[in-house]
Structure 1
Amino acid sequence: MAITTLRELYVDQLQDIYSANRQSLEATKKMRDKASESDLKSALDDGVKGIEDGMNKVKNLIEGHDADPTGEHCKGMEGLVREANAHAINADIEDEDVRDASIITQYQRMVHYGVAGYGTAAAFANRLGLKDDAATLGKCLDETREGDRRMNKIAEREVNPAAAA
Structure 2
Amino acid sequence: MATKTLDDLFYETLKDIYYAERKISKALPKMARGAQDEKLKQAFLTHKEETDGQIERLQQVFELIGKRARGKTCAAIEGILEEGEEILEEFKGTPALDAGLLAAAQAVEHYEISRYGTLVAWAKQLSLKDAVTLLEETLSEESKTDATLTTLAGSAVNIAAKKAA
Q: Scaled by the length of structure 1, what TM-score is found?
A: 0.93
1: distance between equivalents of 2:121 and 2:91? 41
2:122 alignment partner AA: F
Q: Matched residue pairs, number?
A: 163
2: distance between equivalents of 1:76 and 1:115? 13
SS at match of 1:163: helix
Change beyond 3 A, Cα 1:77–1:125: same
1:125 alignment partner AA: A
Other-structure match for 2:147: 149
Other-structure match for 1:60: 60
1:40 alignment partner AA: L
2:150 alignment partner AA: N
Q: Contact between 2:17 and 2:71, CA under 8 Å: does it hold in 1?
A: no
Runs ≥4 residues deviating over 4 A: none
1:114-136 Cα deviation digits (max 9, x unpaired): 00111000000001111111111
The equivalent position to 1:111 in structure 2, one of 109, 112, 122, is 109
Other-structure match for 1:39: 39
The equivalent position to 2:136 in structure 1, one of 135, 138, 147, is 138
1:24 CA displacement: 1.4
- Which residues of 2 match residues 4-153 of structure 1 at below 5 A? 4-88=4-88, 90-95=89-94, 97-153=95-151
1: distance between equivalents of 2:111 and 2:61? 19
Q: Scaled by the length of structure 2, what TM-score is found?
A: 0.93
1:71 CA displacement: 4.1
Structure 1 gaps of 5+ residues are none
2: distance between equivalents of 1:125 and 1:163? 42
2: distance between equivalents of 1:69 and 1:84? 27
Structure 2 gaps of 5+ residues are none
Q: Contact between 1:111 and 1:148, CA under 8 Å: does it hold in 2?
A: yes
Q: Contact between 2:21 and 2:55, CA under 8 Å: does it hold in 1?
A: yes
2: distance between equivalents of 1:100 and 1:2? 48
2: distance between equivalents of 1:147 and 1:100? 16
1:109 CA displacement: 0.5
Percent identical pairs in the alignment equals 29
